[in-house]
Amino acid sequence: MVNNLVHLGNTIWQWLVQNIFSISALAISLLTLHRNRTTLEVKFSPRIDRTMDLSTEITDKNGNYIHAYRNVFLVSVEIINSSPNDIAYYDLYAFDPKTNNFLEFVNPKAFSFSHPGVGVIHYINKVTFNILNVPLEQYGVFKANSYTKFDLPIIVTDPDEIKNIDTLAVGFKAIKRTLFKNTNK
C-alpha cells in the first residue's frame, strides 16, 4: 500500500517535471487572456434635460449663428475604456422605449460643407453657454485606456410625441471579439 502511494507520487512528480513548460505556457496564456479582456464602462447623465427652445445652436468657427433647434433633450454619455485595446463602436442611436420610435441627433456635419469648422453650443441662459462635444458620425473608436464624453442633443420633431416622452434611451453597438462562438441559432 505504501509502495503504491510512493510509486504514484513519483509518477505524478515525473509528469509535472516533464510538463512544467506546458503548464507554465497555459498559465501565462490564461493570465494574458484575462488582462486583455475588453471592457467598457458607460455612464449616462442622471437626468435628461429638455432644453429651452432655440437654445441649442449650430455656429460657425467664428461663433456666428447658423441654425437653432426646438424640442431638444440633452444627454451626456461618458465612456471609459480601461482595456489595453481600442474598441470600435457603431450604430449610435436614440429612441423612445415606450414607442420604439427612433429620434434624431443634432449633427453639425450637415452644415460643415457650407460652413467649415462648425460647432454646437447650448445656451443655459442669456449669458452662459456650453460648447457641446457632439460626435460627427454614428461610429468611431474608443481608444485604449481612454475617457470619452459625448453630448447628444436629441431632437423630437413630432408634437404629439413630445407630450408623451418621459424616458429616452441611447444605445450603440461595440465590436468585441469572443473567445467561443455560439453556432446554435
Provide the pLDDT for residue 157: 81
Burial (CB < 10 A; 0-12, 13-18, 19+), residue 152, is: buried
Distances (CA, A) of 36 to 22, 30, 86, 172: 21, 10, 11, 22
**Which sign, positive or negative, has the C-alpha torsion 99, 158, 63, 91?**
positive
What DSSP state is assigned to residue 63?
-
Half-sphere exposure of 121 (CA within 13 A, CB side): 19
Residue pair 127/48 in contact (Cβ under 8 Å)? The answer is: no
- Has this prediction a pTM greater than 0.85? no
Provide the pLDDT for residue 148: 93
- Closest to 172 in 3D by CA, of 85, 95, 71: 95
Provide the pLDDT for residue 146: 93
Provide the pLDDT for residue 185: 42
Cell for 165? 416622452
From first to last of the 185 residues of the chain, give the pLDDT tens digit: 778 888 888 888 888 888 888 888 889 988 887 777 777 888 988 777 778 888 888 888 888 888 888 888 888 899 999 888 888 899 999 888 888 888 888 888 878 878 888 888 888 887 888 889 998 888 999 998 999 998 999 988 887 777 778 788 888 888 765 555 444 44
